[in-house]
Structure 1
């Protein structure tokens, strides 16, 4: 395989990451809008409920948005440094080859931070789906801890490289391999753990609450994981082959991780919107029926609620399931 130059792969990175960042930013804004709209509708449009803003998923969404945005900004900054500021733009190759520069080290730190946050939130979702079962998240928790150790290790090793060294040296390679292994195991294990639990918990006929097909939930999780995992495999294969295209793969892995995370938020949010629309139609029908019944004399109605079960989703929103015995 022909080895592309470092300058070429970095120019491709700027174009590709900018496109992916645009996709991520759109999905992120939509997910925030859906969350705020849902909080407003649940509070009856009288007072905004702040509970969704204090959930782990909300904090994670904000953090990922910040890290992905900061990474893209540094990519653009390095482009101007290489072709305008550094040696008056006459030594772009030397600039991009020096991996110990502060901008490159900080940019790598934002990649690591994005991967860590994404993996933590995925394990959190697995924990929620399995009914807060600590045993089921033991393995991915260990891999996240491994990523918390290996991630900063990569950043530290890059900061110690001299201008003549490359990212393929053994000291860096060990840490990068550890990073890849940890995040790969976390994503595969957690995704299939969530999909398996959702599949096993399906009601007869495979229909979820609100009439949607439960296979869509499983497909949503697998599609999101497949996007991220396939890109991670692409990066690791290029890195093991000592190909410079790995620079593009690792830099674009940051927005890819953000897209994979926000895809779930948006599609779940759209499901909330559908249920809210259905609920409003049902409420309108009940109101019309009550108005008609008020024209006639009615006997007292006794309502005996025998059981109330309170649940919460992973955004901290209440889900009330009532098993009532009504008699007239």
Structure 2
């Protein structure tokens, strides 16, 4: 079995590596936002997404800094890593639950936008998000109240927080996938591509892959925390950056698809999709013949 020091070192190395990948993808997403919307988006959906991505990045960066600080402060002392009452440990867990909250908020907002701004679609996940925020406060309080020498991090608040995050991710992704599938059945009868060049099936695959990554991280952390295994030092360390990767993978891959197709300037057989409030889709299909004089 791994020692707590070895697990902490492995977790630190993995987090630093994954953070490097995440930082590159985040930079690409910001560049795509600037190229499509300017330095500051004027439409609210893009602006809220950008603010969410920046908040998530700052939270994950802070968590990574705390991890490096703990590495140099703890050196090879197992007692340091086992003592969960230290300020660095409390700060680390606070940033972890905050990154989870920001990620799930972005997922719900994505559902809200794709769901034609219909509030009833997000009532269920919002209720769970409120519960997650309450449990996040409970998790932080649990760690603040720990006494030196208390090695146990398994707690009902931790399990509740992670379980709620899993439910939000699965529900929102399922609803988004259903919405895109509905669009596909209509659009495929009219045109091979949606406006912007991304295939519906490609978007669906991206969403499912990213959701699976996020959900797997939450499940892995939940299991290790409940088992009290030293592997939680690895999972808890890399969980925030995995949340970040799951988010930026969606925006970078879809955004790169938009950029690629816009450079090609596809003008033939464009299809425009409009989400409307009255439970349906308004699809405009315009056929253009370039050879018509």
TM over 0.5: yes
Indicate conservation of the 8 Å contact 1:71/1:111, yes or no: yes
Distance 1:166 1:38, change over 3 A: same
* Structure-2-length-normalised TM-score: 0.86
Q: Distance in 2 between matches of 1:63 and 1:76?
A: 20
Contact 2:7 2:231 in 1 (8 A): yes
Check the 8 A contact 2:115/2:275 in 1, yes or no. no
CA deviation after TM superposition for structure 1 residue 168, in Å: 3.9
Match of 1:221 in 2: 207
Take 2:95 and 2:169, find their aligned partners in 1: how far apart are those partners? Answer: 19
1:150 aligned onto 2:131: no
Q: Deviations over 1:6-45 (max 9, x none)?
A: 11111111111001101110110010011111224xxxxx
> Cα deviations across residues 245-274 of structure 1 (Å, max 9, x unaligned)?
012101110000000000011012112202
Whether the 8 Å contact between 1:82 and 1:96 is mirrored in structure 2 is yes
TM-score (norm 1): 0.77
Q: How does 1:38-77 map to 2 (within 5 A)?
A: 38-40=36-38, 50-51=41-42, 55-77=47-69
Unaligned 5+ runs, structure 2: 277-283, 288-292
Q: Give the CA deviation at 1:213.
A: 2.4
Deviation, structure 1 residue 214: 1.2
Correspondence 1:180 to 2:172? no
**Deviation for aligned residue 1:239:** 2.1
Equivalent residue number for residue 249 of structure 2 = 263
Please list the CA deviations of residues 76-119 of structure 1 after superposition, one character each: whole Å capped at 9, or x if unmatched: 01111112xxxxx7xx1121111111111111111111100110
CA distance in 2, matches of 1:311, 1:193: 15
For residue 135 of structure 1, report the CA deviation from its aligned partner: 1.0
Give the secondary-structure state (helix, strand or coil) at the position aligned to 1:218.
helix
The C-alpha deviation readout for 1:260-319, integer Å capped at 9, x for no partner, is 00001101211220232133x759xxxxxxxxxxxxxxxxxxxxxxxx99879xxxxxxx
Within 5 Å, give how 1:1-12 maps onto structure 2.
Answer: 2=1, 4-12=2-10
Q: Which of residues 15, 18, 33 is equivalent to 1:17?
A: 15
Relative to structure 1, is the Cα distance of residues 310 and 139 closer, same or farther in structure 2, using a 3 angstrom cutoff? Answer: closer
- Higher-Rg member (1/2): 1
1:129 is the counterpart of 2:114: yes
Answer whether contact 2:41 2:47 (CA < 8 A) is retained: no
CA contact (8 A) 1:97 1:163 kept: no
Determine the structure 2 residue equivalent to 1:165: 150
> Given that residues 52 and 58 in structure 1 are in contact (C-alpha distance below 8 angstroms), is that contact kept between their aligned partners in structure 2?
no
How far off is 1:322 after superposition?
9.1
Counterpart contact for 1:35–1:52, Cα < 8 Å: no
CA RMSD after TM alignment: 2.7
- Tell me if the contact between 2:136 and 2:157 (Cα under 8 Å) persists in the aligned partners: yes
Unaligned runs of 5+ residues in structure 1 are: 41-47, 84-88, 284-307, 313-320
C-alpha spacing 1:193/1:50, structure 2 compared with 1 (3 Å): closer
- The offset of 1:240, in angstroms, is 2.3
Q: List structure 1 segments (4+ residues) > 3 angstroms apart after TM superposition.
A: 308-312, 321-324
Aligned equivalent of 2:188, options 183, 194, 204: 204
CA–CA separation in structure 2 for the residues paired with 1:162 and 1:38 = 51
Secondary structure of the structure 2 residue equivalent to 1:162: coil
Over 3 Å counting, the alpha-carbon distance change for 1:221 and 1:105 in structure 2 is: same
Verify the 8 A CA contact 2:85 2:150 in the aligned structure 1.
no
Task: State the secondary structure of the residue aligned to 1:51.
Answer: coil
Deviates further, 204-213 or 18-27: 204-213
